[in-house]
Structure 1
Amino acid sequence: MNAPRSDARTANTASTLSHDRYCDEIAHQVGLLRAVVTSGADLSVTVPTCPDWSLRRLVRHTGGALRWAELLVRTRAREEVPDEKVPLGEGPETAGDLDAWLAETGDLLVATLREAGPDAEVWSWAGIPTSGFWARRMAHELTVHRADAALAAGLPYEVAPDIAADAIDEWLQIVEFVQRAMPHDGARDLRGPGRSIHLHATDATPELDAEWLVELTEDVVVWRRGHEKATVALRGPLTAVMLAFYRRLPLDQPELEVLGERELLELWLERTTFG
């Protein structure tokens, strides 16, 4: 996923997860992505959710993003580093070489993030100049792109509930940041009085608050966790809600339910992009 090139405002950085949790998840997700690569899947197959990419290109993109983040954090970069400056950032071609490259990539990134801790000063595109931003961003970069890879390979996909919920939080924070930093972006038509979206994970537990309200006010998109009435509601298992909200799962899947003004949710999914 590409990032907006703006540091005009600082995004809301609230997270319920620790730096170590993100580091653990990066290692876990890299292992699961490696399993897709070595599953015997055709690496030349088109990724349905990223139709401009083959599975091989998706994996190389994801590993390259991890190596880019590792370089930023390791060097305590004060400005953006061009992709071409990242050593071995393009990645190899064959399944075996890709597997080894991903393993090395994951080890490098996790070690660098753990050494830096969450508060080291590092440039970021969202105006959040910390290593902690990159730990979270790369955890969810992997979470979502592994879903892309699993769909392309025809393999099952699962993700831990705390990671799925935090992925929704982060996506909403990114949308909020883009709305504040780039007020004339393509999502401006979403805003209007009385418009709101509710996300409801039907398998949430008392320990995990997995409901969200997104208010599309006249000035800016704002959101909070909680159960509240809305113009439209998206209901289903947490993983399915997360994938649908990231446009990785169609709304007409049997495990999902849309209540209310479906057109507003469809417009949200169409317009809330960045890059």
Structure 2
Amino acid sequence: MSELPVVPLGSVADELLLQVTAFADATSAGSVDLGTPVPTCPDWSLRDLARHLGRVHRRVAETISRGGDELVAHHEVADPEPPGARDEVATWLLAGAAELVSAMTDAGPDRRVAGFLGPAPVSWWARRMLHETVVHRYDAEATAGTRPWVGVGPELAADGIAESFSLLETFGARRADLAGSGETIHVHATDETSCEWLVTRAASGVSVTHGHVRADVAVRGPAAALFAVLTNRRAPDAPADDLGAVEVLGDPAVLRDWLRVSGL
């Protein structure tokens, strides 16, 4: 898979703050209870989801600030628990995101810090945290019953797809379930020319290449709708909604099995 495009750190930081604000708004929407189960993450409540995102932001912020060769341990994260009052959870989430943006800005995009599999530049963490937040924003809004991903445009969604594919390639060697017997999946965004991919599940692992190629199954539609499908936030055959409609061409079983093993 080719190198992902370089995005200015300031742009990513600004977008991250917008996305975490939307997430925080969902936790405060209407009369939604923080104990409400998250339909897209069935083992979690809305409080669990908020706790996860807030802790991740704080952990990465501390990892960047400290430098070093190892991720900050979960038990070392400061202020790891959201407040009990629902109205205070949004403030806690925003504070964690602000801490993360401050750490990234102070360090600069090129500084190398601990990553998942060795050193990674701060710019890599910025992109990872942005899309972690975008995906969980969908979860929070689905739980609150509000329209998911209002304002998430094709460029952001397409970059989320690209980033998720890069993660699958990175961890492919550790995930035997991602391998296959040559099955291919073509992903094609209809509103973003950069978003066209071929996923190949070879016996040796997963490869992802860019371009328009025939495959066992093709899934096409607006980038945001595709991103929701590829992260298992929306079924491929779900009715069209505000994000648009997704079309599956070819063998749907190939797509179903890919989503079973690859969804984030």
Three-state SS of the structure 1 residue aligned to 2:114 is coil
Q: Which residue of 2 aligns with 1:223?
A: 208
CA distance in structure 2 between the partners assigned to 1:174 and 1:70 by the alignment: 20
Identity %: 35
CA distance in structure 2 between the partners assigned to 1:105 and 1:192 by the alignment: 43
CA distance in structure 2 between the partners assigned to 1:114 and 1:13 by the alignment: 23
Higher relative contact order (CA 8 A, sep 6+): 1
Q: Which residue of 2 aligns with 1:142?
A: 133
Does the CA contact (< 8 Å) of 1:16 and 1:166 recur in 2? Answer: no
Aligned alpha-carbon RMSD (Å): 1.8
- Correspondence 1:226-241 to 2 at 5 A: 226-241=211-226
Post-superposition shift, 1:29?
Answer: 0.8
Q: Which residue of 2 aligns with 1:53?
A: 44
Matched, 1:192 2:185: no
Matched, 1:173 2:161: no
Does the CA contact (< 8 Å) of 1:61 and 1:90 recur in 2? Answer: no
Find 2:189's aligned residue among 201, 207, 212.
201
Q: Which residue of 2 aligns with 1:256?
A: 246
Change (3 A) 1:13 1:250: same
Post-superposition shift, 1:211?
Answer: 1.7
The amino acid that maps onto 1:154 is G
Q: Deviations over 1:190-240 (max 9, x none)?
A: x223x2111122233xxx422211122342321123222111011122111
Q: Which residue of 1 aligns with 2:77?
A: 86
Change (3 A) 1:203 1:14: closer
Does the CA contact (< 8 Å) of 1:49 and 1:148 recur in 2? Answer: yes
The ranges of structure 1 where at least 4 consecutive aligned residues each deviate by more than 3 angstroms after the TM superposition are none
Post-superposition shift, 1:171?
Answer: 1.0
Q: Deviations over 1:120-149 (max 9, x none)?
A: 121011334221221111101100000000
Post-superposition shift, 1:150?
Answer: 0.7
Q: Deviations over 1:82-120 (max 9, x none)?
A: 111001022222222111111211211111111111111
CA distance in structure 2 between the partners assigned to 1:160 and 1:68 by the alignment: 28
After TM superposition, the score normalised by the length of structure 1 is 0.87
Q: Which residue of 1 aligns with 2:195?
A: 210
Q: Which residue of 2 aligns with 1:161?
A: 154
Post-superposition shift, 1:185?
Answer: 2.1
The amino acid that maps onto 1:198 is H
- Correspondence 1:98-137 to 2 at 5 A: 98-137=89-128
Q: Which residue of 1 aligns with 2:26?
A: 36
Three-state SS of the structure 2 residue aligned to 1:215 is strand
Matched, 1:17 2:7: yes
Q: Which residue of 2 aligns with 1:7?
A: none
Matched, 1:272 2:262: yes
Does the CA contact (< 8 Å) of 1:60 and 1:92 recur in 2? Answer: no
Residues 236-245 or 75-84, more deviating: 75-84
Q: Which residue of 1 aligns with 2:242?
A: none
The amino acid that maps onto 2:261 is R
The amino acid that maps onto 2:162 is D
Gaps of 5+ in 2: 240-244
CA distance in structure 2 between the partners assigned to 1:203 and 1:34 by the alignment: 28
Find 1:27's aligned residue among 17, 27, 46.
17
Does the CA contact (< 8 Å) of 2:176 and 2:205 recur in 1? Answer: no
CA distance in structure 2 between the partners assigned to 1:52 and 1:167 by the alignment: 24
Does the CA contact (< 8 Å) of 1:12 and 1:177 recur in 2? Answer: no
Three-state SS of the structure 1 residue aligned to 2:181 is coil
Does the CA contact (< 8 Å) of 1:46 and 1:52 recur in 2? Answer: yes
CA distance in structure 2 between the partners assigned to 1:97 and 1:12 by the alignment: 42
